[in-house]
Structure 1
Amino acid sequence: MAKSRSFSIYLLKPGYSAANALRLGHALADNVVADNLPDGATLYILDSVPRPPWWKEYFAIDKELTQVQKGALIFLPVRERCFVLSFGHVSHNLLDASYEYDFGLRVTLNSLDPRKLKSTDTLDPGAAKRMRTQLPVESELTYFDFDRDSTILRSLTGKVREECRELFRHATGGSNLRISSDISADQLCGMCERLLALYEDDQYKVAFPEIQNIVPVCDPAQIFVLNDLLLQAFRERDTGLCLTVPDIVNYSDNVFSVFLGAGSSLIYNDVHIDHYFGYLDEKGIDREAVDIEVLRGHSLVLTDENGSPRNHYTIFKSLVFDACIEGEEGQTYHLCEGSWYKVDRDYVARLSAYLDSRCADCDLAAYTYSSEGEYNQKVSDNDNTLICLDMENISPDGQKQVEPCDLLRLRGNTAAFYHVKLSTLSAQLSHLFNQGVNAIELLRLEPRAQEKLEALIRDRTNAEYAEALISCIREQNCCVVFAIVTPKDATAKSLNLPLFSRISLMRNMKALQLMNIPAEFVFVADQSAEKEGRKRKRTRRTAPREDAGEAAAVAMDAR
């Protein structure tokens, strides 16, 4: 029996080949002889110089230790398209814009048995949350708690349908396709032709109809318009524009970040778009001169504390943004991991109808302070019907802290739990909405949590008012109010929120509805003074960092 081998396969976009799909300055060699390559294929090899692992010097190990990286990219032309077979960790040498981001996923959806799925990788762009779900037995997609309304399916693993088993038995698909196959080198072209046919098929819409609320945008004309809207938002420093790490990150490794593309940057201990704006200012780059190619040429690099690079992502691939094209009323587009996604028009309409009916007039004072904490404390000081519970904890001892709410008041015979958030950024709002549900669930499930809340209430107001509030909470006469501080026009209602924040809000409101807890959202008028930026204090580090031929001293961001 022939040995099964693992393949990682990319499909290049039309017009891309070995001649233009690789990054400038790549370290791959193309002068290697290979007698068994398929006809027309081009081979690139990574053969790095041996070097000691970092922990050899760290522990002063007195033994010769070296490690090397090996890898290869094989460009294989098939039917006027070009496939890339990647071996080892070398696929990052491909230009982000060169390959089809939905290739692996579409081939997998068209080849898998929908009843025999094993694993999913999903992305919730609203919270920039990535999750891998695995089941011990082969199951349908519904068993993976896949939320078709708010989640993008990034990767899927399972057994293939009977008619595809001559090619491979198991497949995992995201941007690339990962399979195991026992085919020989001279059969690779034939296999790729079959894969191209699977990619061009739309049979997956029958087996997986629930993933169609969010679909990738492929029309170059639409992408051009959307990219132009992105640049406009970038130049205006639109608050809806976010910078995130487009990958699952192991934060226990003490992850730091730097920017490259116009020289080295300071080291930051978080990822935020304001750091990138500061990097452009430091390098004397006018935002008006920044275009899509600049965003693709500049990189967000995850590093260790000394600036040694680990993972590279282009700025363009790291941006998250919602946009609407003029003249396409009700249609929303979302930028995530360098790709634009179109959200089903009817779904957006249903979303707006649900949320707008739950948008209420604000009964809180305008925001004129420098922080959420100050606002919560001041408005409660000035209104004796409000109790400030910001930063308080009602979780049982030894469990993760859960804040009951920011503000609490009696409205008629109902205890109103206010959760306040400054800004309309997706990730922050998703956290806010989840917080509102988690607090109510904890009060329902943990008697100790309710005891702690009652003690906090008695400590912060007079006995008569406290007992009235506590009586409502014990009788479960409660409601949740999400108070969003923003200068935006409140009459726009849910349209003030990014797409995936709206989806997150609807999901959490429905969760509260199942608990018979009414929920609403309001907009608090932001009337605070505009804040000027300032430089943070930094201490110099002397350790040099090398990346892409650059050696530079970097500074540690001190907090």
Structure 2
Amino acid sequence: MAKSRSFSIFLLKEGYDATNALREDHALDDDIGAQGLPDGATLFVLDSEPRPPWWKPYFGIEKNLTQVNKGALVFLPVGERCFALSFGHVAHNLIDSSYEYDFGLRVTLNSLDPQKLKSTDTLDPGAAKRQRTQLPIESELTLFDFDRDSTILRSLTGKVRDEHKELFRHATGGSNLRISTDIESDGLVALCEQLLGLYQSEQYKTAFPEIQNIVPVRDPAQIAALNGRLLEAFRARNPDLNITVPEIINYSDNLYVTFAGAGRGLVYDDVYIGRYYDYLDEHEADLSAMGIEDLRRHALVLTDEDGNARDRYSVFKSLVFDTNLEGAQGETFHLSEGHWYRIDDGYIARLVAYLDPLCVDSDLPPYDHPSEGEYNEAVAVDNPAIACLDRKNISPDGQSAVEPCDLLAVRDGIAAFYHVKVSTLSAQLSHLFNQGVNAIELMRLEPQAVDRLEALTREALPGADADTLVALIRGRNCRVIFGIVTRKDPAARSLNLPLFSRISLMRSMKALRLMDVQGNVIFIADQVAAAKGRKKKRKKKEAPAEAQPAAAEAAE
């Protein structure tokens, strides 16, 4: 039986090949002889010098220990396209924009048995949440808790259909295709030809119809137009444009952030689009002259406490943005991880039809306070019939804290639970919506949570008002109101929210209806004077604050 080998395959975009798909600073050697390369293939090899592992001096190990990194990239022309085959950890030498990001996923969807899936990697762009789900037995997609309404499927693993078993046995697809096959090197061209056919097939729409609400944009002309809208928003410092780390990160590593591409940058302890604008202003960058390639060249850099670079991401890949295009009536486009996605027309219409009636006029005063907490306290002080329960906890002993709401009041004979958020960022709004659902769910399931809520209510309000609220709560006569502080026009209703926040909101509203609870959204007028974001410098024990720019020099 032939030995099975595992490697990764990338499909390069049209116009890319071995001459232009590698980063300029790559350390691969192309002057290596090889007798078994397919005709027309080009080989690049990583052959690093031996070096001791980091833990050798850490423990003072005396034995001579070394380790090396080996790898190879093979560029293989197939028809008018070119594939890149990666062996070892060398694929990061490819330019981000040089390969088809959905190649591996589409091939996998077209080749896997839909009843024999093993693992999924998903992205919820609304909350910027990444998740890997694995099951011990082969299963269908629905058992992986895949939410077709709000989740982008980034990677899928499983067994291939019987008709493809001669090509490969197992496949994992994302941007690239990771396969295990016993095909020899002289069969790679034929393999890639069949993979190209699988990529171009639309059979997956029958096997996996539930992933069609969110689809990638592939039309170059449309992508160029969308990038133009992005640049307009960037140059205007549009508040709907945001930035985030585009990968799963370990927050226990005490990571910090800086920027690179225009010069040295300060080290910050948070990721915020205002930091990037501050960085550009510091270096007197002309935003009107910057283009997409500048955003690709500039980097968001994660560093350690000393400012040493740990991970580096293109700013373009880190941006999050929703927009529309002229001539694309009813279509909404979302930028995530450097790629544009089109949301199904009918689905957008269903979102508007469902959510707009739930957006009502605000019955809370305008926001003009330093923080959400101070606003909530002020509202309760001005109206003694409203209880401020911000940062209170109704969870039973031993469970994670759950805040019942920010403000609690009687509205039209119903106990109204107000959840207030000063933001229209998708991740923060998704947290807000989940908070509202979780609080009601806890009160439905845990009598002790209702008892604690009653105690908090009686502590915050005078007798008669508290009696009324407690009776409504125990009678399950409740309403959840999400109060969003914004400068946007309330007349726009649900369109004031980012796309994936609307999707998250609809999911939360449906969850509330299942518990027989009405949900609404109000837009609270933001009357705080606009202020420029301030740089928050990282504190150092032995170096003065002025030395911080030097600490980030490694990020350049």
State the TM-score, normalized to the length of structure 1.
0.95
Q: 1:414 to 1:402 in 2, by over 3 A?
A: same
Q: CA deviation at 1:66?
A: 3.5
**Does the 8 Å contact 1:542/1:553 carry over to 2?**
no
Match of 1:476 in 2: 476
Identity of aligned residues (%): 67
Report matched runs for 1:65-144 at 5 Å: 65-144=65-144
Match of 1:259 in 2: 259
- Equivalent residue letter for 1:237: R
- The Cα offsets for residues 414-446 of structure 1, whole Å up to 9 and x where unpaired, read as 110000011211111111001100111111112
Q: Which runs of 5+ in 1 are unaligned?
A: 544-549
**Does the 8 Å contact 1:541/1:554 carry over to 2?**
no
- Equivalent residue letter for 2:365: A
Q: CA deviation at 1:307?
A: 3.3
Report matched runs for 1:191-230 at 5 Å: 191-230=191-230
Total equivalences in the alignment: 550
Stretch deviating more after TM superposition (393-402 or 114-123)? 393-402
Separation of aligned partners in 1, 2:56 and 2:393: 45
Separation of aligned partners in 2, 1:351 and 1:65: 60
Separation of aligned partners in 2, 1:361 and 1:539: 45
**Does the 8 Å contact 2:106/2:204 carry over to 1?**
yes
Match of 1:162 in 2: 162
Stretch deviating more after TM superposition (250-259 or 103-112)? 250-259
Match of 1:520 in 2: 520
Match of 1:344 in 2: 344
Q: CA deviation at 1:56?
A: 3.9
**Does the 8 Å contact 2:267/2:537 carry over to 1?**
no
- The Cα offsets for residues 33-65 of structure 1, whole Å up to 9 and x where unpaired, read as 122111111111122233344444444545544
Separation of aligned partners in 2, 1:195 and 1:274: 43
- Equivalent residue letter for 2:339: S
Separation of aligned partners in 1, 2:519 and 2:117: 36
**Does the 8 Å contact 1:406/1:418 carry over to 2?**
yes
SS of 2:270's equivalent?
coil
Alignment of 1:331 onto 2:354: no
Q: CA deviation at 1:129?
A: 0.4
**Does the 8 Å contact 1:541/1:555 carry over to 2?**
no
Match of 2:460 in 1: 460
- The Cα offsets for residues 471-513 of structure 1, whole Å up to 9 and x where unpaired, read as 1111110010001111101000001111000000000000000
Superposed CA RMSD in Å reads 1.9
Separation of aligned partners in 2, 1:269 and 1:148: 34
Report matched runs for 1:242-321 at 5 Å: 242-321=242-321
Match of 1:547 in 2: none
Separation of aligned partners in 2, 1:92 and 1:551: 27
- The Cα offsets for residues 102-150 of structure 1, whole Å up to 9 and x where unpaired, read as 1000000000111111111111000000111111111111111111111
**Does the 8 Å contact 2:299/2:315 carry over to 1?**
yes
**Does the 8 Å contact 1:259/1:279 carry over to 2?**
yes
Q: 1:62 to 1:256 in 2, by over 3 A?
A: farther
Separation of aligned partners in 1, 2:174 and 2:541: 39
**Does the 8 Å contact 2:269/2:536 carry over to 1?**
no
Separation of aligned partners in 2, 1:553 and 1:11: 35
Match of 2:364 in 1: 364
**Does the 8 Å contact 1:540/1:555 carry over to 2?**
no
Match of 1:14 in 2: 14
Separation of aligned partners in 2, 1:169 and 1:249: 31
Q: CA deviation at 1:25?
A: 1.4
- Equivalent residue letter for 1:143: L
- The Cα offsets for residues 167-211 of structure 1, whole Å up to 9 and x where unpaired, read as 011111010001100110111111000000000111111111111
SS of 1:494's equivalent?
helix
Separation of aligned partners in 2, 1:263 and 1:34: 42
Separation of aligned partners in 1, 2:252 and 2:66: 25
Stretch deviating more after TM superposition (170-179 or 302-311)? 302-311
SS of 2:466's equivalent?
helix
- Equivalent residue letter for 1:528: V
Stretch deviating more after TM superposition (265-274 or 420-429)? 265-274
SS of 2:104's equivalent?
helix
Stretch deviating more after TM superposition (488-497 or 404-413)? 404-413
**Does the 8 Å contact 2:437/2:511 carry over to 1?**
yes
- Equivalent residue letter for 1:67: Q
SS of 1:453's equivalent?
helix
**Does the 8 Å contact 1:267/1:555 carry over to 2?**
no
**Does the 8 Å contact 2:296/2:316 carry over to 1?**
yes
- Equivalent residue letter for 1:11: L
Stretch deviating more after TM superposition (294-303 or 122-131)? 294-303
- The Cα offsets for residues 288-315 of structure 1, whole Å up to 9 and x where unpaired, read as 2221001111122233323333332211
**Does the 8 Å contact 1:322/1:498 carry over to 2?**
yes
Match of 1:442 in 2: 442
Separation of aligned partners in 2, 1:8 and 1:127: 29
